[in-house]
Amino acid sequence: MFRTLTVTAMSGVLAVAVLGARRGAQQPPPASQPPPPGSQQPTDITTTITSEGGSIPRLAIPDFIAIGAEPDVVAAAKTLGQVLWDDLNFEHEFAFIPRDTYASIPRATSFADVPFNRWRELNADGLVVGTVQKTASGIRVEMRLYNSRTRQSAYGREYISTNPRLVAHTMADELHASQRALRGVARTKLTFDSDRDGERMSGTVEKRDNKEVYISDYDGENQTRVTVGRTLNIFPRWSPDGRSIAYTSYRRGGANIFISNIYQATLDEVTKGPDESWLAAWSPDGGRLCFASSREGNGNTNLFIVNRDGSGLRRLTNHPSINTSPTWSPSGTQIAFTSDRTGAPQIYVMSVDGLGQPQRITAGEGYADKPTWSPAPYNEIAYTARAGVNDIKVIDMATREVRQLTFGEGNNESAVFSPNGRHLAFTSTRTGKKQIFTIARTGKDVKQITRSGNNEHPDWSRGPQ
């Protein structure tokens, strides 16, 4: 999981060909290109910045140097520094020299006049210096991470793009990988559903707003609608390859599972009736979906597993109760789910082959739902616990220790893990309407992602693979 990304072992220069990003839903992901001819200073050896005291390294990230005075280059320089700082700060793998102290230090105009001694006075272990200049088709960005003691470049890359934010996200992921052996989340994507468009749902006289599936960057930028239904399109779930979204749609009247292939703008129907199928969850290999359905019409809800193309349907649970909210273990061998077979809803784990009895894992809760299994190396299940209001808790599957992440600030539910397991996204009413927030797995760093309309039921993906 935390191996160094192969990109850091490649020689020198990574060119990033960039999508036009605002309409991310229609665009292919960035594709690596061969390094442009004549690029300079390939870094064949990546060294690691360390702190003298053994604590996390302290970085300074002054504004990137705009080469030229064009307004878009100046703006790109500002965006690069700010987004890179935000991305690195999100993981707390570096400490930062406070930005308000930077003003006392002369601004470099190139890599040749970096005032290393002044940065050492501020006790910086590392210094990120970057330049940005205009090209025929966009911008060229060069970034170097210097060891401020040795004044050696520990890491360096060159990027060609039209999108400064994506360049900064790429830098952040590469710095985390090369310096901290961490898979960062800077280029990850969220999905959620939203009623922000205020369109009336068709076929009803009630005042009901439709809900449509949106995607965004992990930091809430580039929020883009990907479904058009005038209906309920809810509970979106990224496919493991980050190119498709399965969701619960009422476009046929009752609820069914659909898949939008968001880069092809095509739609697949997984459950073509009977109605009342919800809450699809992808198997880790992307080949199957587990979902809940009350298709027998007797009021019970049970779990089913189906191939992605709708074939091979089989029943997983067969119990006269509610069995819902499935989530796969990272290995794909187990399913955690909610059942009220003993009265109130509780979290259970069972084998994907359906053999053996489900094992209950929540002990001290009066009401628990929406389990979500963390990625490795953590082995945790986050869930919603109800005691007056809903709050997010996490249970360690090895020790069964429970920790609570939210504490009654509004209603908090529908948590999912980030692809590296270090963060969660969830729905909260703490600011009024339902909004998406992110939070560190420690319970710190609550950050609001959405602000327009009601936004719910998030999921978090590595992005298109």
Partner 1 sequence: MMKTARWMAGVTVAALMVAGAACGKKPPLEQPAPPPNAPSPPLVIARPPAPPEPIAEPAVATPAPVREDPIASASLDDLNRNSPLKPAFFDYDSSELNAEAQRALDENAAVLKRFASWTITVEGHCDERGTAEYNLALGERRAVAARTYLVSLGIPVDRLRVVSYGKEFPFDPGHTEAAFAKNRRAHFVITAK
Binding site for partner 1 (CB under 8 A): 204-206, 208, 211, 232, 234-235, 250, 253-255, 275-276, 278-279, 292, 294, 297-299, 301, 322, 324-325, 338, 340, 345, 367, 369-370, 384, 386, 390, 411, 413-414, 427, 456-457
In the bound state with partner 1, the residue whose beta carbon lies nearer, of 92 and 319, is 319
Which DSSP category does 138 fall into?
Answer: S
Phi, psi for 186 (deg, rounded to 5)? -65, -30
Name the residue nearer to partner 1 (CB basis): 227 or 338.
338
C-alpha distances in Å from residue 89, one per residue of 54, 98, 163, 307, 377: 19, 12, 21, 40, 21
- Nearer residue to partner 1 within complex by CB, 9 or 344: 344
Q: How far is the CB of 275 from partner 1 (least distance, A)?
A: 7
Cβ nearer to partner 1, comparing 186 with 213: 213
Closest approach, Cβ 325 to partner 1, in A, equals 4
In angstroms, give the least distance from the CB of 258 to partner 1. 16
Shortest Å distance, C-beta 185 to partner 1: 24
User: C-alpha distances in angstroms, 155 versus 4, 126, 359?
Assistant: 13, 11, 49
CA distance 25 to 270: 21
Q: What is the DSSP letter of 451?
A: -
Q: Least distance from C-beta 61 to partner 1, angstroms? A: 40
What distances in angstroms separate CA 312 from CA 73, 280, 287, one per listed residue? Answer: 54, 15, 11
CB of 444 to partner 1, least distance (A): 24
State both tokens at 343: 């009265």
User: Is the Cβ of residue 255 or residue 449 nearer to partner 1 in the bound state?
Assistant: 255
When the beta carbons of 24 and 345 are compared against partner 1, the nearer one is 345
Q: Which is nearer to partner 1, 300 or 379 (CB)?
A: 300
Nearest to 277 by CA among 234, 300, 248: 248
Q: Smallest distance from the beta carbon of 397 to partner 1, in angstroms? A: 20
Question: How many helices and strands, by DSSP H and E, does the chain display?
Answer: 3, 32
Asked whether 384 and 370 are in contact (CB, 8 A), the reply is yes
Q: Which helix (H) or strand (E) holds 87?
A: helix 71-91
Q: Give the whole-angstrom CA distance, residue 5 versus residue 173.
A: 9
Phi, psi of 115 (to 5 degrees): -80, 75
CB distance 184 to 87 below 8 Å? yes
For residues 303 and 449, which CB has a smaller minimum distance to partner 1 in the complex? 303
For residue 369 the two structure tokens come to 């739902």
Supply the minimum distance, in Å, between the C-beta of residue 422 and partner 1. Answer: 24
